[in-house]
Amino acid sequence: MSSTTADGPSASLIERLTARYRACPVTGLKVDKSAEALIKVNAVAAIVCLLIGVIAATGLVLTRWQAVHLLDAGMFYRFLTLHGLNMLIFFIIFFEMAVLYFAGPVLLSSRLPAPKLGWLAFVLMVLGALTVNATVLAGRADVLFTSYPPLQAHPLYYLGIILFAVGALLMVSLFFAALVVAKREKAYEGSIPLVSFGALTAAIIAVITLLHGAAIYIPTFLWSLGLMEMDPQIYRMVWWALGHSSQQINVAAMVSIWYLLAGLTVGGVVLNEKVSRTAFFLYILFISMASAHHLLVDPGMGPAWKIWNTSYAMYLAVLASMIHGFTVPAGVEMGMRLRGYTAGLFEWLKKAPWSDPGFSGMALSVVIFGFMGGITGVTIGTEQINIIAHNTLRIPGHFHTTVVGGTALAFFAVTYYVLPLIFRRRVAFWKLAQLQPYLFAVGIVVMSMSMIFMGIFGVPRRHWDASFQTSPYPVEMQPVVEVFQATLGLGGLLAAFAVLSFVLIAVVSVFFGKRIQDADFARGGAGLPQGVVKLPAQTHTGPAMEATHNAGAKGTMVLVFIFLACFVLYYFTNWKLLSMLWKVG
Amino acid sequence: MSAQEMHSGIVGPRGTWWVPANKQEKRWVVISFVWCMVLFAMMPLWHWKGGQNPAGIRSKTTPLAFLERTERFVTDYKVGEENGVPIVAPPPGADIYLVGRMWAWYPILKLEKGASYTLHLSSIDVNHGFSLYPVNLNFQVVPGYDYGLRVVPNKAGDFRIICNEFCGIAHHAMVGKVVVEE
């Protein structure tokens, strides 16, 4: 672990520093209390937005389930707007801000410079989120998450998003400043840890993303005031350079959390720093090209532009994800082998701490993101295959397995470690917490698979009435679609229940949970994940390490080949489906 | 890492970490890279050999110009009406025009199986989504842009055009009709 000694030259400085920091009894890290406070408020704000988002989600699944059809049309589209914004922007970005404060000052045991600026950033973000939510709830912004012009919302809506983005940008700058300070004050030796490197990647992508955000929301705000013109196609291109790139902040943050939890839960190792860091770097290079995923069947761009951009310059960002998809489980496997679980191909997997929600959530996140999110995403993001997927339910089916089953689940998982380590409370309702990742994973997978299948049958996304009662011509749906509507409803309700459980666990733990004294950690008991009770060794040397290093990750090799086989099969099945259509070109 | 030390992702590496990866990791990176090249090659290949591509003939237009062109197309080939909406049967090879607007597709198209047409799509107000149902052929319809796609219906039948881009409060009622005859 990093050094825990204060490094001030004078006695008074040392005194000031000791008041400013506390030593973490589990990890030995020196924690800046102002960074800790900002982690707390951002995490709480994230959970409030998550709650709004999940209430809206419940309304949506109960409407999409045609047999229930709960909301009226106006409410459905309003809830859809609310759901998208609170989940995909507010919840995720507040949480990522907390991740940045953790991966910067806390992991590096360094000082957070200008904490007041952190509070200013937080206030701006809260104001922005409040403004947007108020405008949407007042019915002045029924434009959905994407707000494609010429559909127009009240100017306050765009202004709220700008405020939120400015706050986030300030916060990201503060993270960079913290890294510079840590380096200058020699808080660490050598290079920053991989988890911090991944968070740095997320922060850099966040800057790229937020600049695109400024490039689109400021003109759109002016347009809503009648001060300028707006080209609908250019809006779509620039907006998605924000909309899709922001998903890559999520990917980078999620992968960092995979590495973090692999280390904390089972002592998972980094196979090779060069490979993992290069993979993160590839994200930075190519990620804003993904705007093209949304424009593949648009009239504004030609095939060369579409092919080059949709493939992130020949799929090098996909390569990056495939690398992490190997190195994370392989790191877990080697970590488990180092702890003595060396039998056969899969003893490490069988004996993994599956009742630790930090571990199970991380593992399920890897599987859902890789097997479902990754494979479906690359496939429907193929220029021609997009013809059979664009704006059908396949699209939300896909991204509920990336950003929800992947990112949100990883965020839930890490929270089970943040509660004891940062909030210093036992996790409340521990039995429920141990089940929560499984309930959520099953719910999201069932719901997303239902959406994907319905999309293959041509059911549109963002659509209130799949029975087409108000259509001028009768529309016959396949009978099987009704079955999928019900499974969408049931899966969605299960996932919503799991999210509400998470909110309950987090809120009760933070505000009413049992306080943990330093000595309690080693004693364990309900509400403390096993990695917190006894942190696995994080560094290995000697003959056992060499033997493990030479034996490698055989089990993971088998798993990734199963993954590749599924990928190839799904990908070419879709080409086959496409080839059966009308000729078009 | 070299075989001197292994550590987790929360420990900063000391010394030089730019060292060769182990054999398994190298193998997986190479396999992934090859697969990425296959993924990339498929798209140009399909433009060359495949029958379904979103290239089309793309140009800018205005709502007024596109609506006028559509009206001329309707006048030229109109064969009937359904609930006040003209049914238009263009000859094979013709340029055909379809307008998306809040909340209808205009006009109704009558096509021949196996014949080739150039289908021009545009909107005269907000974004719409052209989704031919149940074929599941989807294109974005953007105001100010004319998307001309050569289409060859391969099956006779009664098809719908579902709008699958949110276009306002009655978005779900926006359904059009295409009939393909033998």
Does residue B79 contact residue B87 with C-beta atoms inside 8 Å? yes
Mark B167-181 as b/e (b = at least 16 C-beta within 10 Å). Answer: beeebbbbbbbbbbe
**CB contact set of A64 (below 8 Å; sequence gap of 6+):** A466, A485, A488, A489, A492
Q: Which residues in chain A have their CB less than 8 angstroms from residue B58's CB? A: 299-302
- By the 10 Å C-beta count (0-12 exposed, 13-18 middle, 19+ buried), B47 is classed as middle
Of all residues in chain A, the one with the smallest CA distance to B147 is A299
What is the three-class DSSP state of A50?
helix
Q: Which of residues 115-174 of B touch A (CB under 8 A)?
A: 116, 121-122, 125-127, 129, 131-147, 149-155, 160, 162-173
Q: Are A458 and A393 in contact (CB under 8 A)?
A: no
- A150 within 8 A of A80, measured Cβ to Cβ: no
pLDDT tens digit string along B138-174?
Answer: 999 999 999 999 999 999 999 999 999 999 999 999 9
Contact B10/A266 with Cβ under 8 angstroms? no
Q: Which residues of chain A have pLDDT under 50?
A: 1-9
CA A445 from chain center: how many Å?
16
**A475: DSSP letter:** -
A173-213 pLDDT tens trace: 999 999 999 999 888 888 999 999 999 999 999 999 988 88
Low-confidence ranges of chain B (pLDDT < 70): 1-3
- Using DSSP, state whether A22 is helix, strand or coil: strand
8 A C-beta contact, residue A429 and residue A416: no
Residues of A numbered 43-82 whose beta carbons fall under 8 angstroms of chain B's beta carbons: which are they? 73-74, 77
The tokens for B81 are 């009406």
Report the C-alpha gap between B114 and A229 in whole angstroms: 43
ipTM above 0.90, yes or no: yes
Answer yes or no: do B164 and A545 touch at CB < 8 A: no
Nearest CB partner across the interface for A378, out of B39, B104, B164: B39
Which residue do the tokens 């666990």 mark? A505
Q: CA–CA separation, A536 vs A414, rounded Å?
A: 16
pLDDT at B14: 83
Burial bucket for residue B49 (CB in 10 Å: 0-12, 13-18, 19+):
exposed
